[in-house]
Chains A and B, each alone.
Chain A
């Protein structure tokens, strides 16, 4: 190639717009959908949300005859229908952390903050896009999980529950809401820690390590503390029964929302203050 053919003038740009929150949201949507890791994680989350209830429902149906009355009493149709949420939360949380730490590990964050030097619009846009995408994908998934598992269990009257039964619709929609909120929580942790492994470790500690450790405490302490942990509070969103020490669903949701807002606030303050 002739080197002279390379030399071209930079074409003028007719119109340069200013940075707006909406434009940053569009940009973050492009970023989210253009990564293979995002597509796979979300696909996995949807699949797990549906497959696990199918698996549990099928196992329950085939083993029903050999179950003890005690075991049978322990089966709750809503627990089966929303079993996948417990698994999907891992995929959603990891992706939530990655949405921001992926930018730090690759250096993309410098490009992002050069385009949007006020920085906060980037955080808000990431939260809005990720929460919306997660909710929009997970809502049909949990609804499908509910009706498919109910169909599989249709032979057993005591495992049938109506969508209009008090609290059922709230629990099913709450499952998708929980995952969306959890994704935001994980994203905020990622923004605070700025490191993929560290972010996932902090999330795992909060949601999988600390809750069972509470059992070491004296029962009265455990009962006083455990219901207020983020994990326990959040799970009230997609649970029907309220145990003696548990929060009711709406207070649980509000507490989990408060935890998430706290994490987001810390992330926002640090994001503006820290060097990149």
Chain B
């Protein structure tokens, strides 16, 4: 369980995270979404107390991370920027981390096997591909059998097989009752993995809700209608709150009406329908809608800065 209250972080004059409050609960996968530079990695560093917040506080399992006696047993973390000495072998990297908690070599072997690095464990980490580096980072995160798993962009650089593996692993960890907190810019991946979403933009929280609700809220009602009598139906449906746009000769995109309302209107006026499909916005679209203002604001700010120079 991670609880953040009013978390704020400035780097010099630059605000990275602003008044961020959220709770990450055990037993589900919580996705942490935001455009690049929105403060996801900063938030994770603040949770681990690698950086100190300018104001506000964050606790893990009821305590500041620093105050835990066995930190690796509380939080297992994979940070976005690589956190591995390039000159050391994967095995020795894991061993050195394990030894700080008196964790033995057998556990290191177990994790090397779990993440599929058995054949390259004695190789220097600097020779690893991005995907292998991610696997090593995940192994390090799971070393202490942590009750909270926090991964920054874990599927970055993984092949499709690896992505599938991470997805199953995360769901499995959550099913065991652990707290799983995963950031990603791959919205599609999040919609498949995360049960709950915390969305931030420019360091501020934009949304904090179940993935299902997030998509529903952002998608509105949009229905795709295929009919040979497109013109007729368009006139029929038009109203003050309804927008109908023609998409080719026989395709209409209707918003403001449900599929049922459209179907009934067509039936009572004997209009033939070939297709009637309620459209669900993808998580990508939902995300874009929500963060649009943030991104636009940023772009405008950048422009004015450039003019200023």
Chain A residues at the B interface, C-beta cutoff of 8 Å = 1, 3, 6-13, 15-20, 23-24, 26-28, 30-31, 34-37, 102-103, 106-111, 113-118, 275-276
Contact = CB atoms under 8 A, between A and B. Distances in A.
21 contacts: A6-B164, A9-B176, A13-B73, A16-B73, A17-B70, A18-B70, A19-B69, A19-B100, A24-B100, A26-B99, A30-B96, A31-B88, A34-B92, A102-B87, A106-B86, A107-B83, A111-B97, A113-B48, A114-B48, A114-B83, A115-B72
A30 B93 CA distance: 9
A36 B87 contact: yes
A3 B161 contact: yes
Contacts of B176: 9-10
Contacts of A20: 102
Nearest to A107: B83
Give me the 3 closest cross-chain CB pairs, A-B, nearest first.
Answer: A17-B102, A13-B145, A34-B92
A241 B154 CA distance: 63
Contacts of A118: 66
Given A12-B145, A114-B50, A27 B161 contact: no
Contact of A110 (B66, B83, B165): B83
B227 to A, nearest CB: 42
A23 B85 contact: no
A20 B69 CA distance: 9
A130 to B, nearest CB: 15
Given A13-B103, A37-B87, A7 B71 contact: no
A3 B69 CA distance: 37
A102 B85 contact: yes
Nearest to B81: A107
B107 interface: yes
Nearest to A110: B83
A116 to B, nearest CB: 5
Interface residues on B, range: 35 or more
Contacts of B161: 1, 3, 6
Nearest to B42: A275
B225 interface: no
A24 B77 CA distance: 19
A23 B99 contact: yes
B84 interface: yes
The winner among A3, A103, A117, A118 for most chain B CB atoms within 10 A is A117
A15 B107 CA distance: 11
B11 to A, nearest CB: 8
Given A276-B45, A276-B51, 7 more contacts: A10-B142, A16-B73, A19-B71, A31-B85, A35-B88, A114-B77, A117-B68
A17 B101 contact: yes
B71 A10 contact: no
A198 to B, nearest CB: 19
Contacts of A27: 96-97, 99-100
Given A27-B99, A117-B66, A7 B50 contact: no
Contacts of A16: 70, 72-73, 101, 103, 144-145
A122 to B, nearest CB: 9
B172 A10 contact: yes
A238 to B, nearest CB: 32
B169 interface: yes
Contacts of B15: none
B89 interface: yes
A129 B161 CA distance: 42
B172 A9 contact: yes
A27 B88 CA distance: 13
Contacts of B97: 27, 111, 115
Nearest to B165: A6
Contacts of A113: 48, 50
B82 interface: yes
A28 B169 CA distance: 31
A7 B81 CA distance: 25
A64 B207 CA distance: 85
A102 B79 CA distance: 18
A162 B45 CA distance: 59
Contacts of A8: 114
A111 B100 contact: no
Contacts of B173: 10
B110 interface: yes
B199 interface: no
B29 to A, nearest CB: 14
Contacts of A107: 79, 81-84
A108 B70 contact: no
B287 interface: no
